Amino acid sequence: MFESLTEKLTGALRNLRGTGTLSEANMADALKEVRAALLSADVHFKVARDFIDRVQEQCVGQSVLKSVSPGQQVVKIIHDELVKLLGEGATELAAKRPLKVLMVGLHGSGKTTSTAKLGKLLKKKGARPFVVAGDVYRPAAIDQLEILAKQEELGFYCDRASKDVPGIGAKALESALAQNADVILFDTAGRLQIDHDLIEEVKKLKAAVQPDEVILVADGALGQEAVNVAKAFHDALTLTGLILTKLDGDTRGGAALSIKSVTGVPIKFIGTGEKTENFEIFHPDRLASRILGMGDVVSLVEKAQETIDQKEAERMAEKMRKADFNLEDFLAQMQQVKKMGSMQSILGMMPGMSGVQLPGDADRQMKRTEAIIQSMTVQERRKPSLLNGNRRIRIAKGAGVQVVEVNQLMKQFDQMQKMMKMMKGGNQKKLMRQMEQMRGRGGMPF
């Protein structure tokens, strides 16, 4: 997320971080670079200007320049100001039950997808969500929500025969409450632009269902345009929150950094991909850390806890300790890691690693490794020493790779096993040497 902004900011701050003494001149240079980084990420120019003013004001204070590590202090000031920009304070939905949420936004912004994503997230937290198809103009839109609702096992209401949106809203609400739902999400139709008819229809629906939350779903990839859209919707409908979508890919970050301070409406969730699990509660402090290349360890640990089976992880650790780790275990472990997301996205959450670009084929490489192990028999996986030349040829064919790749994997696995044996034997020095060697040779197979 926001890789190019992170790269520029860490570049601007690199010189400051380690500096023992800091002059007003080199700080001014760094802040100039920070400002340029914000502008090139499409942050609103007034927002960028005020941001730099606020940071500068705090930095010229003698206490910063005279502190033990002025560079670190400046980074901290920038971090805290970034948190303020992204939106301090509560970003949660109202705790009220039943909770009625109206989802609004332009066509294609991700309303329908986000409605299902939000339903899924709330369900995981123990709620009984119910989604309502309010986009009555395109039958495909109703189907889209119905499919997602089935997939995520959410309550669902639609009326294919009616175009009376407020009427549908009222009936849907009745039906949801009768079915004991406690969060009701109303998906609505969008237009290509904000127009009178769209706003009027949503206003009528709003009057009919009296929502507790009116959430604008805005396409984060639109940059400043998303901010303008949010302003217009807020003026017309009084929003209570935002969902910024499409923050995956090469979105520059301008919308996320400007939208709260321009509109006053907090970002509550972010969409980071097309799948229903690519959706996160918005944490300003975590994103600020990520943007500054400081990593987001909290999210990483949460993700690991969510996706990795704790018992299984302990069993693996035990096996590694005993140096009794075979290819079958290796495959299982790789599959667990894969559940957390792409290797690049995992790396992005580690402190200091966000700028590191994995070879473009890191995930492909992992898939190939997986394919190779999957082409082995169970005996071979448990006892890799069985793998003679003929078997390796057969495996390479099965996995659709070259024999050299099988050989390479086996060599790496062999080294891994050696390391585990050393760990078991407690030979730390030898272990460090071995690890250095592996790093030099391009390291692990994934």
Residues in contact with Mg ion, shown as a per-residue x/- string from 51 to 80 under the rule CB under 5 A: ------------------------------
Among 6, 73, 91, 109, binds ligand GDP (CB under 6 A): 109
C-beta of 33 vs 152, nearer to ligand GDP: 152
Q: Could you tell me the smallest distance in angstroms from the CB atom of residue 148 to Mg ion?
A: 10
What distance in Å separates the CA atoms of residue 337 and residue 38, rounded to the nearest whole number?
Answer: 33
Distance CA 412, CA 406 (A): 10
Q: Is 190 annotated as a binding residue?
A: yes
Asked if 194 contacts 232 with a C-beta cutoff of 8 angstroms, the reply is: yes
Q: Is 247 part of any known ligand binding site? A: yes
Q: At its nearest, how many Å lie between Mg ion and the CB of residue 277?
A: 19
| Residues in contact with ligand GDP, shown as a per-residue x/- string from 112 to 151 under the rule CB under 6 A | xx--------------------------------------
CB 416 within 8 A of CB 438: no
CB 349 within 8 A of CB 290: yes
311: helix, coil or strand? helix
Residue of 105, 253, 348, 384 interacting with ligand GDP (CB under 6 A): 105
Position with the least CB separation from ligand GDP: 271
Show the DSSP H helices in 340-402 as ranges: 343-348, 362-374, 378-382, 389-399
**Of 246, 244, 309, nearest to 275 (Cα)?**
246
What does the block give as tokens for 108?
Answer: 């294609």
Sole window of 58-66, 109-117, 124-132, 299-307 interacting with ligand GDP (rule: CB under 6 A): 109-117
Residue 130 near residue 98, CB atoms below 8 Å: no
Cβ 345 vs Cβ 403: under 8 Å? no
- What is the distance between the alpha carbons of residues 255 and 257, in angstroms, rounded to a whole number? 5
66 C-beta neighbours (distance < 10 Å), count: 11
For strand 213-219 and strand 99-104, is the pairing parallel, antiparallel, or unpaired? Answer: parallel
The binding track of 209-238 with respect to ligand GDP, each residue x by CB under 6 A or -, is --------x---------------------
110 binds ligand GDP (CB under 6 A): yes
- Cβ atoms of 195 and 227 within 8 Å: the answer is no
Strand duo 279-281 + 267-271: pairing:
antiparallel
Instruction: Give the footprint of Mg ion on residues 94-113 (CB under 5 A).
Output: 111-112
Could you tell me if residue 367 is left (phi over 0), alpha (psi between -120 and 50 degrees) or otherwise beta? alpha
- Which of 5, 59, 74, 141 lies at the binding interface for Mg ion (CB under 5 A)? 141
Q: How far is the CB of 276 from ligand GDP (least distance, A)?
A: 10
Region binding ligand GDP by CB under 6 A among candidate stretches 46-54, 92-100, 245-253, 435-443: 245-253
Query: Taking CB under 6 A as the rule, which mask of x and - marks residues 265-284 in contact with ligand GDP?
Result: ------xxxx---x------
Query: How big is the site for ligand GDP, counted in residues (CB under 6 A)?
Result: 19
- The entry of ligand GDP, Mg ion, none that residue 81 binds, CB within 5 to 8 Å by partner kind: none
Q: Is 105 annotated as a binding residue?
A: yes
Q: How far apart are CA 251 and CA 247, in angstroms?
A: 6
Tell me which residues touch Mg ion (CB under 5 A).
111-112, 135, 141
Tell me which residues touch ligand GDP (CB under 6 A).
105, 107-113, 190, 217, 245-246, 248-249, 271-274, 278
Which residues does the annotation place in the binding site for GTP? 105-112, 187-191, 245-248
Which residues does the annotation place in the binding site? 105-112, 187-191, 245-248
